[in-house]
Amino acid sequence: MKVCITSKGATLDSPTEERFGRAPYFIIVESEGGSFEALKNPYADGGGGVGPKAAQVLIAHEVKALISGQVGGNAREVLAAAGIAMYTYNAGGTVMDAFDQFAKNTLVRT
């Protein structure tokens, strides 16, 4: 299944990004096999209403789980309605580190 991790850069070694809606990149990792795709977030510099729009990017890419530091109220509502599970990661490590913790089931589902 596809898991999205908010990131400051375009690789698995990039530091994770705490924010969801204005994260510079969404790294989408396929949990079976570990292949990944880096999406540049078009709403990273958005003024307002970015939460729902960013959530729609994930929906369009068939993401089933999101790993991020903080997800705003509007984004949360859209993600929940779309059935996308949300997990909190704010250890400040890399995208790979966040995915590892998710795979080991050590992340808190929020």
Partner 1 sequence: MKIAIASGKGGTGKTMVAANLAFTLSRDGQVTLVDCAVEEPNLHLFFPAPAVITEVTLPVPIIDENTCQHCGLCGEFCQYGAITVLPTRVLFFSELCHSCGGCMLACPNDAIHEEPKRIGTVAVSTPLPRLKHISGMLDTGNPHAVPVIRAAKKLAVGDPLVICDSAPGTSCPVVETLDGCDCCILVTESTPFGLHDLRLAVDVACRLGIPTGIVINRSDGKDEAILEFCRDHNLEVMLTIPFDRGIAAIQSRGNLLCEIQPTWQNEFNGLFMKCKALCKGER
Where does this chain bind partner 1 (CB under 8 A)?
48-53, 55-56, 59, 74, 77-78, 81-82
Smallest distance from the beta carbon of 74 to partner 1, in angstroms? 5
Query: Is 106 exposed, middle or buried, given 0-12, 13-18 or 19+ CB atoms closer than 10 A?
Result: exposed
Which residue's CB is nearer to partner 1, number 29 or number 76?
A: 76
Q: How many residues does the chain have?
A: 110
Which residue's CB is nearer to partner 1, number 84 or number 95?
A: 84
Which residue's CB is nearer to partner 1, number 5 or number 50?
A: 50
CA 98 to chain centre: 10
Give me the torsion for CA of 56, 58, 60, 63, rounded to 10°.
Answer: -140
Smallest distance from the beta carbon of 57 to partner 1, in angstroms? 11
